[in-house]
Amino acid sequence: MRTAFIYSHEFERFTYSPSHPLKPIRFKLTYELAKAYGLLDLPDTRVVQSVPCSEADIATVHSIEYIEAVKHGAERFAEWDLISYGLGTAENPLPPKVYEWSLLGVGASLQAAKLVASGEAAIAFNMAGGQHHASRNRASGFCYFNDVSVVIRYFLDQGYRVAYIDIDAHHGDGVQEMFYRTNQVLKISLHESGLYLFPGSGFEREMGVGEGAGYSVNIPLLPQADDDIFWYAFHEIVPPLLDCFKPDVLVTQLGVDTFEADPLTTLSMTTQGYSQVIQELKRLSPGKWVAFGGGGYDVLQVPRAWTLAWAIMNEIELPDKLPDQYCALIHHLGSHDGYLRDKPYQTSNTIKRRILKELEKTLAYIKEHQLKMICSQSGGLIDK
């Protein structure tokens, strides 16, 4: 087995609330689109049935008190206590089976990590993972348990050096917080600036403390940053940092709320820029790569993006016309043009110049204060 697609039909059976912007049906649609393209029947891939993790797995990064609050919710906790844990809100409600569903999602991520660590798979993808906002004692941003941090902790316990790359529109604040003091995890997050978007963090001067000083790398982008800008930011920082850090494993959060059509964010990427970044992540992988989903609130956009990502992981070039059986499945969900890839989109030159002006300052700061330091500590060389 070269690649592993972790999945359960239970993923899409959970509902936050009828009005909640995060729709788990996007998991079913991604599975069905990948299946329609034949991507789940490839000779070197395998679909792995997700199983829940244990409470002990969750407790490697979350407090027992918080776990109990998610598990028992309003049955045992007063409303004000739940709110202190970020629970029972419109953002993070406590519908039936939320605890069991969360264990299943974290379990899928941990399965992916173990398959990669054992050598059974070089790449493993859990699209139901990527819950990067949850902190040790608090739910946040639609995230109850931080599966990304559970996986990173697992790899650290195996003695691995971990590079974590987050390309979600929202800053990966929970993961940053949990590994802010270690130099064994290089955390790089490209996201819409916290001046404009939840969670209001992820500025370039958030660099880590103690032994972790310099190992949290944040690249905030102004609204309307498009494919060209995102790629430029990524290419200037990520490859040279990984070349110097030399991770044993690559962990990525591949949220697709960076897209121009996403209803909750104001970045302007398309499938073209997204695919370019995924291709580069594949090239940069040290031979062990665990990938997660993440944000994405246009239910017709998300399956197309994650199917493209899965195809790239398997080195498959897909035809642009969506399969007829998939089009029949989604016809009741809204209008679509019947194609896998977006049309090109460019932000206006005036706006782009303003974005690039601020981005250049950020990149210069990172190169001066982090890239040089990490490369010198690792004995690496940098060209600029």
Q: Over its length of 384 residues, how does the chain's per-residue pLDDT go in tens digits? A: 699 999 999 999 999 999 999 999 999 999 999 999 999 999 999 999 999 999 999 999 999 999 999 999 988 899 999 999 999 999 999 999 999 999 999 999 999 999 999 999 999 999 999 999 999 999 999 999 999 999 999 999 999 999 999 999 999 999 999 999 999 999 999 999 999 999 999 999 999 999 999 999 999 999 999 999 999 999 999 999 999 999 999 999 999 999 999 999 999 999 999 999 999 999 999 999 999 999 999 999 999 999 999 999 999 999 999 999 999 999 989 878 899 999 999 999 999 999 999 999 999 999 999 999 999 987 654 443
Known catalytic residue at 133: yes
Model pTM score = 0.97
Domains and their CATH numbers in the chain = 3-378 (3.40.800.20)
Question: Is the Cα dihedral 175, 179, 180, 186 positive or negative?
Answer: negative
Q: Which is nearest to 383 in space by CA: 188, 243, 280, 187? A: 243
Count of other CB atoms within 10 angstroms of residue 366: 22
Q: Residue 94 has what pLDDT?
A: 95
Residues 6 or more apart whose Cβ sits within 8 Å of residue 310: 5, 34, 39, 125
CA dihedral 168, 221, 372, 285 (to 10 degrees): 30
Q: Which two tokens stand for residue 113?
A: 């990590």
Beta bridge partners, 255, equal none
Q: Residue 228 has what pLDDT?
A: 98
Catalytic residue among 20, 62, 132, 133: 133
